[in-house]
Chain A
Amino acid sequence: MSSSEVLDIGQEAKVTAGVPDGEGDRLLLARLRRGDPEAFEVLVREHQDRVYDFCVRMLGDREEANDLVQEIFVSVHQNVGKFREDAKLSTWIFRISKNQCINRLKYLKRRGRGRSDEYGEVGEDVLMSAMGAPQGPDAALESARERARVQWAISQLEPDARMLVALRDIEGLSYEEIIEITELAEGTVKSRLHRAREKLADLLGRLEE
């Protein structure tokens, strides 16, 4: 890979399609505050995939993520009146998601059901079945393998590092948004994310040796 090629990888803002910004957010919020049930459904449908993906990255478990996403949107529904519009609606939803994920991880750890234990020293077959990869020689298989490998490596990170990788490199959020969500200083976000990327490189390298 040449250094000019790799400069292409830093491009951001890939996942904002379908999420209303600015005026769209304000209109939706006004309807939500009037208690319009259709507006809430619109909100859920617009944000559910990103919130679900974030929860899967954080928890490493689809069932837990499924349950937690429902709780997150219930929390959004209960607290939308308190949203001060000092951030984008999506940023606020991610902030709630982050807090709920951290609480759920603590709960799972207390109960001795931490997902990182499950993704410890395992073979690729176990990874594949854990991530629901299809069995069979088709094109989807390699994509599922890659998804499982990357998810395994992410699950080996500490929760705060996992969160930064998910927000920046998977969800494609800007550093300003990440700072608002995590309430961390910019330098802290960047240094932790740099260490997380180095660790991921090491883990993925070892997995493929």
Chain B
Amino acid sequence: MSGIQRRLMDVDAQLNHREAKALFFALADEELPEPQAMAVRSHLDGCDECRAGWDRYAQTVQRVRKVEREKAPPLMASMVLNRVKRERRFGLRKLHLAQNYHRVPVEVLIPLLLAAAVAAFLVLSAS
């Protein structure tokens, strides 16, 4: 071990609990430069509380990363293509956006809009 490395070790060995815990994130992501990683490891070797915290943190990250992925239903591509075709056929993109936002089916939205237009026409022609 070189003199520089030993000096780094001496400085980093003085990490307190808070500093060591703050480096868990980078340690789990393998983003810590080696001298700092060594300092955290040496702190963990001498501190049961931080060791337990690190084990819990690292195991959690590992569990999430290893969890089984959800797969799209087998008919997803067909459903998407049908939806795109329907969109084109209606050619009512803005109406569809309204449908997306308010969750009103186009089949309901169009008669509603027509009824509103007729009502507006009747009101205007009566006045």
- Residues of chain A whose beta carbon lies under 8 Å from any beta carbon of chain B: 1, 3-4, 6-7, 9-12, 14-15, 37, 40-41, 44-45, 48-49, 51-53, 56-57, 62, 65-66, 69-71, 73-74, 77-78, 103, 107, 143, 146-147, 150-151, 154, 165, 169-170, 172, 190, 193-194, 197-198, 200-201, 204-205
In the complex, which residue of chain A has the Cβ closest to the Cβ of B28? Answer: A10
CA distance A34 to B100 in the complex (A): 26
Q: In the assembly, what is the distance between CA of A28 and CA of B40, in Å?
A: 46
With A3-B44, A170-B64 known as contacts, the answer to whether A66 contacts B76 (CB < 8 A) is: yes
Contact A48 B77 (CB under 8 A): yes
Identify whether the interface residues of A are mostly helix, strand, loop, or mixed: helix
Q: Are A1 and B59 in contact, CB atoms less than 8 angstroms apart?
A: yes
Q: 25 A-B Cβ contacts within 8 A? A: A4-B41, A7-B27, A9-B62, A15-B69, A37-B81, A40-B84, A41-B77, A44-B77, A70-B83, A73-B83, A77-B84, A78-B87, A107-B101, A143-B68, A150-B63, A150-B67, A151-B67, A154-B64, A170-B65, A172-B65, A197-B57, A197-B64, A200-B64, A201-B59, A205-B56
B27 touches A6 (CB 8 A): yes
> Which residue in B40, B54, B64, B72 is a CB contact (below 8 Å) of A169?
B64
How many residues of B are in contact with the other chain, CB < 8 A? 43
Among A6, A51, A165, A190, the most chain B Cβ lie within 10 Å of the Cβ of A6
B93 at the A interface (CB under 8 A): yes
**B24 (CB) vs chain A CBs: closest residue:** A194
Q: Mark B42-66, 1 if CB is under 8 A from A, else 0.
A: 0011000000001111111111110
Chain B residue at smallest Cβ distance from A193: B25
A62 CA / B24 CA spacing, docked (Å): 33
Of chain A, the residue at the smallest CB distance from B65 is A169
A44, B41: Cα distance in complex, Å: 45
A-B contact count (CB 8 A): 131
Q: Known contacts A74-B87, A197-B57; decide if A147 and B68 are in contact (CB<8 Å).
A: yes
Cβ B79 vs Cβ A70 within 8 A:
yes
Which 8 A/B pairs are nearest by Cβ-Cβ distance? A10-B30, A52-B72, A6-B58, A201-B60, A48-B72, A194-B25, A3-B41, A53-B70
CB pair B63–A7 under 8 Å, yes or no, is no
> How far apart are the CA atoms of A151 and B69 in the complex, in Å?
11
Beyond the given pairs A41-B81, A66-B72, 20 more chain A to chain B contacts, judged by CB atoms under 8 angstroms and listed by A's residue number, are A1-B55, A3-B41, A6-B62, A7-B27, A9-B65, A10-B28, A10-B30, A11-B30, A44-B77, A44-B81, A49-B72, A51-B72, A52-B72, A70-B83, A73-B83, A74-B83, A146-B68, A154-B64, A197-B64, A198-B57
Residues of chain A contacted by B29 (CB below 8 angstroms): 10, 12
B103→A107 contact, CB < 8 A: yes
| Closest A residue by C-beta to B38 | A3
Minimum CB–CB distance for A135 against chain B, Å: 17
A50 to B18, CA, bound (A): 36
Residues on the A chain within 8 Å of B10, using CB: none
Q: Does B80 contact A (CB under 8 A)?
A: yes
